[in-house]
Amino acid sequence: MVGARLRAAREAAGMSLDAVAARTSWSKAALGHFETGRRTPNADVISCYERLFKAAIDPVTAMSTLGRNDVDRRSFLRRAAYSAATSASALALPAEPVQRLIATDDTRLVGIGEVQALRHVIDAFARLDEHRGGGVGRTAVAELLATDVTDMLRARHASGSVRAQAFSAAAELAYLAGFKAHDAGHHGLAQRYYLTALELATESGIPGHDGWVFRILALQGADLGQRRFCVDLAEEAVRRVRGRVDTATEAVFTVALARCHAETGQHEQARTVLTAAEPGIHTDHVAAVPPWCAWWCGDKATAHNQTAKAFRALSEWREAEAHHLEAASFWDPSQHRRVWGRTIADVGVARWEYGDHSGALEAWASAVPILKTLQSTRADGALKRIRRRAPELV
C-alpha cells in the first residue's frame, strides 16, 4: 500500500525511477523494490518522496500541521530521526515559486504593519533563545506557526510585496523553530522545520532567502557528523545568494562552504574557499542586511565564527582561536549568552589543543557559569568537553 502511493506520487510528477535515483542516495533497483512492496520503505524513504513530490501541496498547510503536531507533542515527530538524504532532497525542489492552490480567507486583509509586528515577535523569541537556550519557548513558537501565522498567510494581502514579506517572515519563524529544536536535541524535528522554512522562503520569491535555509541544512549535517551532502547543500546556498547580497553577507555563506569542505576532508578546497572569502570577512563596509538573516549575521561575528570552525576542522588551532576571539568580540555576553559562551568554550579547546593549557582554563572559567544556565544540548556538549579536560571547573 505504501509503495503504491510512492509510485503514484512519482508518476504524477512525471519523474522516472532513474531521475529519482539521481537525486537521492538509493539506487533505481532499491526504489523499485520500495514501490512494488518487495522492501518496506522506511521513514527516510517516505520523507524523501514527500519532499520531492509535494509541489502541489499547500506549504501553509504543511507549516500548520508541523507546528500543531509539535505543540501536541506527537511522539512520532519527537522521535523523528535526522537523515542526510532528507536534507539532500531539497536540492531537487524547484528554485522558483510553484503555482499552488492556497486556501484564503477573503474576510481579512493583511497589511505590512502586521508583517512588521510578526518580525518584532520573531526578534523577541530570538533574543529569548540566545539568553535561555533552545529549550525555552520552543512550544510557543510552534503554536504561533500553527495559529496566527497560518491565519496571516491565508488572508488576503494588501499587495504582492506584502504577501512576499509575509511568507518570508513565516519562513524566518519556521527557521527559528528549527534552530530551537536543534539546540534542544530534536534533530529530526529541526530538519523538518528547516525544510518547511525552505518551502516558505521559496514561496515568498525574495532573492537569497532560500539560500539562507540551504546554508543551515548544510551546517546541520556538519554539526551532526552526517556530511555526505554538506558540500552540495552549501554550494547551492552560495549559488542562490551570489550577486544578491552585499560582500560581507555573502562571506557568511562562503565560509560555511569552506567549513563543509574542511569537515569532509577536502582541505585544499577549504583553504581555497577561505582565501576567496577574506575580502568579505575583513571588509569595513557595512550594508543593510536582509531581514531574513539580520538577527543571525547583522555583523561579522557569524563569518568569523564559521571561519574558526573551518580552521578547527583543518586542525589549525591558532587560526581557529583568533577567529573565535574576533567573533566573541562582537557579541555582548549579557544578550548573546549562548553563542558567546559556546564560542569562548571553543577558544579554550583551541588553546588546549596547541598546548596553552592555562589559557584554556582561563577561557573555560569565563564560559562555564553561562553555559550552566542554558537549556541547550549544545551548551551541555560544550560542558562535557570541558569536563573531560578540566573537571574541576564544571
3-state secondary structure string across 259-270? HHHHHCCCHHHH
CATH classification of the domain holding 47:
1.10.260.40
Q: Of 124, 91, 287, 112, which Cα lies nearest the Cα of 202?
A: 91
The whole-number pLDDT of residue 79 equals 66
Q: Given a cut of 50, is residue 304 above it in pLDDT? A: yes
- Are 117 and 48 found together in one domain? no
> CA-CA distance, 31 to 350, in Å (whole number)?
45
- Is the same domain home to 46 and 71? no
158 and 93 belong to one structural domain: yes
Give whole-number Cα distances, 264 to 8, 205, 213, in Å. Answer: 36, 32, 20
Q: Band the pLDDT of 61: cuts 50, 70, 90.
A: confident
What range does the domain containing 1 cover?
Answer: 1-53
Which residues, including other chains, have CB under 8 Å from residue 377's CB and lie 6 or more apart?
134, 183, 184, 185
Q: Which three cell numbers stand for residue 342?
A: 559556546
Q: Comparing C-alpha atoms, which of 88, 100, 193, 89 is closest to residue 138?
A: 193
Tens-digit pLDDT profile for residues 224-246: 999 999 999 999 999 999 999 98
Residue 56: its pLDDT value, please?
45
What was the pLDDT predicted at 8?
A: 63
Residues 284 and 246 in one domain: yes
Does residue 46 sit in the same domain as residue 175?
Answer: no
Residues 114 and 202 in one domain: yes
Burial of 160 (0-12, 13-18, 19+ CB in 10 A): exposed
Q: Is 122 helix (H, G, I), strand (E, B) or coil?
A: helix
34 plus 141 within the same structural domain: no
Q: Which residue has the cell 514561496?
A: 203
Q: H/E element holding 53?
A: helix 43-53
pLDDT surpassing 80 at residue 191? yes
Express each pLDDT in 82-96 by its tens digit.
878 778 877 876 666
Q: What is the mean pLDDT of residues 297-320?
A: 93
| 287, pLDDT greater than 80 | no
**Cα separation, 211 vs 217, whole angstroms:** 10
* Amino acid 101: pLDDT: 44
pLDDT of the residue at 76 = 54
Whether residue 199 sits in one domain with residue 69: yes
Q: Per-residue pLDDT averaged across 377-386, rounded?
A: 97
Give me the amino acid identity at 356: D
State whether 246 and 277 are in the same domain.
Answer: yes
pLDDT tens track for 243-273:
999 888 999 999 999 999 999 999 999 999 9
**Which helix (H) or strand (E) is 157 found in, with range?**
strand 155-157
Question: Of residues 170 and 87, which shows the higher confidence score?
Answer: 170
Total number of domains in the chain: 2
**pLDDT at residue 22 greater than cutoff 70:** yes
pLDDT-derived band of residue 41, with 50, 70 and 90 as boundaries? confident
113 and 178 part of one domain: yes
Q: Quote the mean pLDDT of the chain.
A: 89
Q: What is the CATH classification number for the domain harbouring 91?
A: 1.25.40.10
Same domain for 49 and 60, yes or no, is no
Span 354-368, mean pLDDT? 98
- Percent of residues, the chain, with pLDDT higher than 90: 65
3-state helix, strand, coil split of the chain in percent (to 5) is 75, 0, 25
Whether residues 21 and 116 fall in one domain = no
Greater model confidence, 150 or 82:
150
Question: Cell numbers of 231, please?
Answer: 558540500
Gyration radius of the chain over CA positions: 21
